[in-house]
Structure 1
Amino acid sequence: MLFEQISSAPFFILGPCVMEDQELLYTVADKVATIGQKFNVPVIFKSSFDKANRTSIHSYRGPGIKKGMEMLNNVKERFGLPCTTDIHEPGQAAIAAQVVDILQIPAFLCRQTDLLVAAAQTGKIVNVKKAQFLSGQDMFYPAQKVVEAGNKQVILTERGNMYGYNNLAVDFRNIYDMKQFGYPVCMDCTHSVQRPGGAGGKTGGDRTFVPMMAMAAKAFGADGYFMETHPDPDNALSDGPNMVKLHELENVIAPLLNK
């Protein structure tokens, strides 16, 4: 089972921020599958069908849940990869669960009880991202909501905390704190380098720091690593400044697997 693999080995959640088109998903999934086979580690393909929390109303959001699930299913069928996507409303949980293996709860929504319960009740793995305003210790309660809704397959993900306006800082002690609950803990290495809303109507950031975020998380005992990646991130439709260039992805991952 996927959750058992995640619980016993380093795992990687990888993919483009938003579903721009099917060809992009195929291009990135091909690289993700190759990395998984080369390093013999669990890899999960990630992309969003809807970026519901974009800074500007004019920003591209994605193809929507119906088309998005078709696109992810095509990836699964072609490459045999487990997949994940984020959901924003309770009604999306059952629809997405028909395709994905992991339901991702966005950081801003990690306290939304109905969303957590709906995700839990699908029986899929639930990856809860830590809110930018919570500590690692606070994440006991979102996880508890999932478990008490009947689902013990929980991942907790660190992604930084607000540090003044338009900036994030990572307190890596949160990884250690969240591991005390007994769930796999993942480091979101790309969203943690964001500058939320800090680029004139969109989110900025600096991908330079992604490899360092990953290595620091390894030192604090992270079980998995979340990285968004794109063949041409400077022209991506969402989160470009933070995404790893696809041709550099393998070089970022390899040091994390050195004993």
Structure 2
Amino acid sequence: MQPFLTDLFKGQSYDEKNFFLIAGPCVIESEELLMEVAGRVSSICRNLGIPYIFKSSYRKANRTSASSFTGLGDELGLSLLKKTGEAFNLPTTTDIHAHDEAAPAARYADILQIPAFLCRQTDLLIAAAETGKVVNVKKGQFLSGQSMKFAVEKIRNAGNEKIILTERGTTFGYQDLVVDYRNIPWMKEHGVPVVMDCTHSLQQPNQVSGITGGNPQLIGTVAKAAIAAGADGLFIETHPNPAIALSDGANMLQLDRLESLLQELVKLRKAVI
């Protein structure tokens, strides 16, 4: 595990040979939701020796429909994210969408996540890098793992070596994604930890209804294949009741199903390392 990850997880007890987990509800809906999810997931991860990062977005700027929920407000959302991390002694992450969001978000979150659609935005990458926080860049659905070297170079040239890359599928036609697992070793060649986004890679975007679809029944399949391919971490959005979630409910994992999946993945990780 790279030193910056060790620093992130210094308050947790975990198996150093395990993968790390980034998980939480897609968007901050309420304090009660954040506390419920963080509490349950942190307990599961502690029991399984998995280092854990809590994730939830304070603002969702990249929604299909203008009528979709985007957040509770920036200051409230960010303060609830920080409060949740402090309550369970967890590092936190949220996505940012513009360069002027980087510094404010960095006051509350430990990791700044760059959405896949924005992974080539130079000013956004530099602004995130200059905060000194860990920067997690999701690979664009239109890029190969090899081409993500340019995103890595932009962040490094801004003086930041704390970089994570995340695979989240490749556009296939207009309304589907596929996962090319070659991207995991290809992105690891850039000398950074690589994460598999097991939920967004199962999205079915661009639906005429204005609501993105998904295939959550395949989350376990994607996660297991990623561990076998050498992923350092997994990204799984989870919710107690995805059917009523305010964002990405169609591809989130129901919270009650997370523990059994992680148990299987820990066994698989031990078999392949």
- Provide the TM-score with structure 1 as the length reference: 0.97
Show the 5 A alignment for 1:108-187. 108-187=117-196
Q: Equivalents in 1 of 2:216, 2:237: separation in Å?
A: 10
Q: CA deviation at 1:198?
A: 2.0
Quickly say closer, same or farther: Cα 1:81–1:238, change in 2 above 3 A: same
Give the CA deviation at 1:76.
Answer: 1.8
The DSSP-based 3-state class of the residue aligned with 1:241 is helix
Q: Is the 8 A contact 1:6 1:42 kept in 2?
A: no
Partner of 2:92: 83
For 2:13, the equivalent position in structure 1 comes to none
1:50 aligns with: 59
Deviation at 1:4, TM superposition (A): 2.8
Q: Which of 217, 225, 241 matches 1:232? A: 241
Q: Give 1:36 shift.
A: 2.2
Report how far residue 252 of structure 1 moved: 1.4
Percent identity over paired residues? 54
Equivalent residue pairs, number:
259
Question: Which position in structure 2 is the counterpart of 1:253?
Answer: 262
Residue 193 in structure 1 maps to residue 205 in structure 2? no
Distance in 1, Cα, partners of 2:83 & 2:64: 30
Q: Distance in 1 between matches of 2:90 and 2:168?
A: 24
Conserved in 2, the CA contact under 8 Å of 1:36 and 1:43? yes
- 1:206: Cα distance to partner? 1.2
Alignment RMSD, CA only? 1.4
Q: Return the offset for 1:10.
A: 1.1
Are the counterparts in 1 of residues 4 and 162 from structure 2 also a CA contact under 8 Å? no
1:199: Cα distance to partner? Answer: 5.8
- The answer to whether the 8 A contact 2:93-2:109 is kept is yes
Which segments of 5 or more consecutive residues in structure 1 lack a partner in the other structure?
none
Partners of 1:94 and 1:239 lie apart in 2 by 26
6 and 162 in structure 1: CA distance in 2 versus 1, 3 angstrom threshold: farther
SS across alignment from 1:176: helix
Change (3 A) 1:170 1:243: same
Tell me: CA distance 1:133–1:108, structure 2 relative to 1, closer, same or farther (3 Å). same
Measured after TM superposition, the shift of residue 235 of structure 1 is: 1.0
**Is residue 209 of structure 1 aligned with residue 211 of structure 2?**
no
In structure 2, stretches of 5+ residues that fail to align are: 10-15
Deviation, structure 1 residue 2: 5.0
- Which residue is 2:230 aligned to? 221
State the Cα deviation string for residues 102-140 of structure 1 (Å, max 9, x = none): 100000000000100010011110000000000000100
Shift of 1:197: 2.2
Alpha carbons 1:6, 1:184 under 8 Å: kept: no
- Residue 198 of structure 1 aligns to a residue whose secondary structure is coil
Whether the 8 Å contact between 2:196 and 2:235 is mirrored in structure 1 is yes
Q: Deviations over 1:75-110 (max 9, x none)?
A: 022111110000001111111111111100000000
In the other structure, the counterpart of 1:38 is: 47
Q: Give the equivalent residue in structure 1 for 2:70.
A: 61
Q: Which amino acid counterpart does residue 143 of structure 1 have in structure 2?
A: V
Query: How far apart are the structure 1 equivalents of 2:223 and 2:8?
Result: 17
Hey, what's the Cα distance between the residues in 2 that align with 1:86 and 1:187? Answer: 16
Cα deviation, 1:11-70, whole Å, max 9, x if unaligned, reads 000000011111010110101210221112210000001110100000011113211111
Mean alpha-carbon deviation: is it higher for 33-42 or for 241-250?
33-42
Distance 2:183 2:262 in 1: 22
Query: For the residues of structure 1 that align with 2:93 and 2:208, how far apart are their CA atoms?
Result: 28
Contact 1:107–1:131 (8 Å) recurs in 2? yes
